[in-house]
Amino acid sequence: MKAFIDYILQFGNLNTQQTDLIMSKAKTIELHKDEYFSEAGKIPRQVGFLLEGVVRFCYYNNKGQEITHHFIDENNFVSDQQKFEAQVVASEYIQAVTDCKLLVFSKKDWDDIGNTIVGWDAITGLILKNCLLKTIERRSPLVSEDATTRYLSFIEHFPGLVNRIPLSHIASYLGITQQSLSRIRKNIR
Amino acid sequence: MKAFIDYILQFGNLNTQQTDLIMSKAKTIELHKDEYFSEAGKIPRQVGFLLEGVVRFCYYNNKGQEITHHFIDENNFVSDQQKFEAQVVASEYIQAVTDCKLLVFSKKDWDDIGNTIVGWDAITGLILKNCLLKTIERRSPLVSEDATTRYLSFIEHFPGLVNRIPLSHIASYLGITQQSLSRIRKNIR
DNA sequence: GAAAATATTTACCAAATGGTAAAAAGTAAA
DNA sequence: TTTACTTTTTACCATTTGGTAAATATTTTC
């Protein structure tokens, strides 16, 4: 729980009363590997904060291929935030890549916090902006670099994740086949 | 000027007094093709709103290749906003792709508006979030699709831009060489 | 621990893309 | 209009990546 509060306090000041309120609304849930946190075609019902494990955002392109859009690791928010806030159907799945433990907030509790804590919207707005910028920065090399360079930049951006994620997910994140990625791994060794 | 105010009003309500204040701070500038709005290694001094023309964000990767990161067309904000707000050096160039006409705000005037209009930060925060989400959405196919599909999705996302932008810029945006793009154009015909 | 299921590696060949260079087309300047 | 300059297309071949399939390795289940 401390990790969560610390994370938030990076983006704005809150007093103990306020952080206590936030913590009082949080519930802890666990997800098994491959379970969904939220699904394409459904309205996201929760905001999560990942305490343990790895999740990914993914979707199916028009060729039916499963594309991993991005990964999230420990101590980061897990939410299709735009769709959650507007309570409209999502176009991506959020899936546990490993067994996970999360803090979650229902829409009602999340709104309650926003209505009680002055400045909460500004803080969450900053957090979202930050996450979006990070996503863009991480995905940029995936367009302009060759496959080997992409893989190396993935390792750089997600140190320690390589050994926790199936090859196929990493390959689809990098925009290559798993055979290609396997070949690249071999060449790097 | 009306287009600019209309754009802003999509994201929040402002009264006439407030929009008058904003307009009073705006200056109009022109950029010739290939001129920079802001440069990598320098602190961005202005926020812009593009009235006419096309601009691009670009940078040089570690192989010295010039990479177009994204395009902006009429009636959109032109700003390395994160770097502008923090007044730190940018890592990308913003360059006119065609002759352009823009409304611009200095840092001081932008701050004055923020200090005067309650809710201005919320509005600009929403606008930025929106732009970032659009950028992510537009760039997603550039990772997972083949070159022809990327080109088609570019045309879809930026209708009318194809004929106003040099082939080389489009190619670097798509992550392919201009020879490949030329070949793809030929195959599509 | 053995069997089954899943994930990864390897191989082979086809297809797509890159690199170099030159030709053609289009634009701007004299 | 002619010349110079820039952009786009084309060609050729090397390299990278994809698709299919099978072999090996790893993990899970019983």
A69 in contact with chain B, both atoms CB, cutoff 8 A: yes
CB distance A142–B145 less than 8 Å? no
Residue A113 banded pLDDT, cuts 50, 70, 90 = very high
B15-36 residue pLDDT tens: 999 999 999 999 999 999 999 9
> Is a pLDDT exceeding 90 seen at residue B138?
yes
Confidence of residue B159 (pLDDT cuts 50, 70, 90): confident
- State whether residue B91 sits within 8 Å of chain A by CB: no
pLDDT at B1: 82
Q: What CATH code is assigned to A2-119?
A: 2.60.120.10
Sole residue written with tokens 């904060």: A49
Spell out the domain ranges in chain B. 2-139, 140-189
A1, pLDDT greater than 90: no
Name the least confident of A131-135, B49-53, B60-64.
B60-64
pLDDT above 90 for B115: yes
Nearest by CB: B69 against A122, A132, A140: A140
Environment class of A8 (CB within 10 Å of its CB; exposed 0-12, middle 13-18, buried 19+): buried
Q: Which residue is nearest to nucleotide D18 (CA to C1')?
A: A177
Closest C-alpha to B100, from B165, B34, B153, B152: B34
Minimal-distance CA residue of chain A relative to B147: A143
Residues of chain B above pLDDT 90, percent: 94
Cβ contacts (< 8 Å) between B65 and chain A: which residues? 144
pLDDT in tens, A78-106: 999 999 999 999 999 999 999 999 999 99
For residue B118, the model assigns a pLDDT of 93
Tokens representing A154 are 């993935």
D5 C1' to A51 CA distance, Å: 60
Predicted TM-score (pTM) above 0.85: yes
Percent of chain A with pLDDT over 90: 94
Residues 6+ apart with CB under 8 A from A57: A68, A69, A70, A71, A72, A80, A92, A93, A94
Give the phi and the psi of residue B117 in degrees, each rounded to 5. Answer: -95, 115
Contacts of A175 in chain B (CB under 8 A): 143-144
Per residue in A47-60, pLDDT (tens digit) is: 999 999 999 999 99
pLDDT band, residue A151 (cuts 50/70/90): very high
For residues A20-49, give the mean pLDDT. Answer: 95
In angstroms, the CA B121 to CA B127 distance is 10
pLDDT above 90 for B52: yes
| Cβ-count burial B127-148 (b if 16+ within 10 Å, e if not) | bbbebbeebeebbbbbbbbebb
How is residue B149 written in tokens?
Answer: 């599909």
Partners of B61 on chain A (C-beta within 8 Å) are 141, 144-145
Sign of the Cα torsion B80, B82, B87, B90 reads negative
CATH superfamily of B2-139: Jelly Rolls (2.60.120.10)
Kindly report, residue by residue over A167-176, the tens digit of the pLDDT: 999 999 999 9
